Structure 1
């Protein structure tokens, strides 16, 4: 059986088709596009891989740097904690020292205030003692110089302290200083001389009831020049005086003066001299009240028991009145204002 030619051709054509499809792959456009895309994707992948690698390296470096930074931060934090702990400890010590210093300061201020108060109190006590001593010296001496010196010294000392609480004391000192300067004090030696004169006159004062007390006041008659006549005249004069003493009429205002016996005149004069000497002693010792009392008693005795018409009696009475008048201005000024201000300052503290 012979082959069919049609079938043979068709088979041959069918076989030829695959042969024609076996052309190179790069000749196909689709494949070319795919290859280009693949190449691009590969290149992009390489670029991305490189970028990712760079980023990984950068991240690794950053991570390493962050780790180092964290380690350094931890170290610094640890150091900061230690520093803070040390600072807290030092601050606690400083606070304790500050509290101790504050306590010492308060104690020092209290001590300074105590010393200042003690100094002011000592100054007040010292000034008060000096003024009282000066007052006693002034009373003993009868001079205001001790008071003036004490007041001036106190004024200077208070002025140096410059304490406001002592300002009233300073004003009181100024007032007392002006009062002492303007005071008038009697002359004590002159008064003592007058009292001595009165003591000497006490023995020469005629009593009010003395016989022949007025004999020296009568006029003396002219006696004859011849010796016989002189003797006769003196005898007659003596006889006349004796006759006059037998009876005497006089006026006595004080009845007790007429009762003084002649033998009591001595005691009367001695008593008068004792009164005058007591007055002198009181004047010297600055016991003015006692001196005035004794002098007043002596003046009363002179007026009562002695002849007021006699010149010596009048002289003694005048001296007694002068001494009593001058003793009225012998009161020394006192520094009561300053002492009161000092007492107030000491009480206030």
Structure 2
């Protein structure tokens, strides 16, 4: 058996060849087109929906903005009204407070009036004496004089004496003790101290300085003149015998005259501070003016009752007197005595308080 190889023949060219996948491709294309159309439609729908939503949001924003503007205008109007109301309320409160203060003052005055009317005669007397003593004590403290306090105590004693109440005898005894205690205190006499300082200031221009020596008075023996006249009268009788005695007497008188003139040229003085002799006339003027200013300052301190300042200025003035002025002069001594009196009299003295009288008044008022 022969092996024969059969080769497949190619298909004829005239027969149409229809691929099997063509229908499938067309279906896929149609599906893709439909899908794209659906996607486009959905996209258009979403875009339209989004556009509608944006429009609604814009409208809502515009509406809310208009509402917020309206509300802000209303809020500003309400705030303005509230501010005006607050101002009116503050003015009313201020007016009410002023009226309340006036009512309080009137109430206090009415209470004081009722209380004063309800007091008895004894209480009025005791209260008046107590207030008068306290006012007098303040005046004595301000003026530095015990006269207001003594006058108030005496007036109170006279008033109680006219009132003649046995239960107020303790108050009168306390007043007597306080009067004795106040009078026992040595209070500086401001008027006398001021007068002494004025006198010292007046003497400053008349005080001699150590650098300005005063001329001494010429002292001649008074007995020499009668003797000379007697000898001149007896000279003609005994001229031949006593001419030598006459010449001797004349020579002796001439020598005494020369010696007296020489003594006036030389002056021996003990000076503890040599710089006092070196004060020029121009410096002497300023020295006197400085001393006056010290004394004027002391006078002002006396009037203002600053006795520490008075002591300091008076001590400075005394040192200036001892250093630069002639202590042997009577005027310098007078000025020094005045300054010593001022220094001794300007001492700070504490005025006593009328505690016994005030305590007796309080006890009498409490024991009514």
Q: TM-score, normalised by structure 2?
A: 0.43
TM-score norm. by structure 1 comes to 0.45
- Larger of the two Rg values belongs to structure: 1
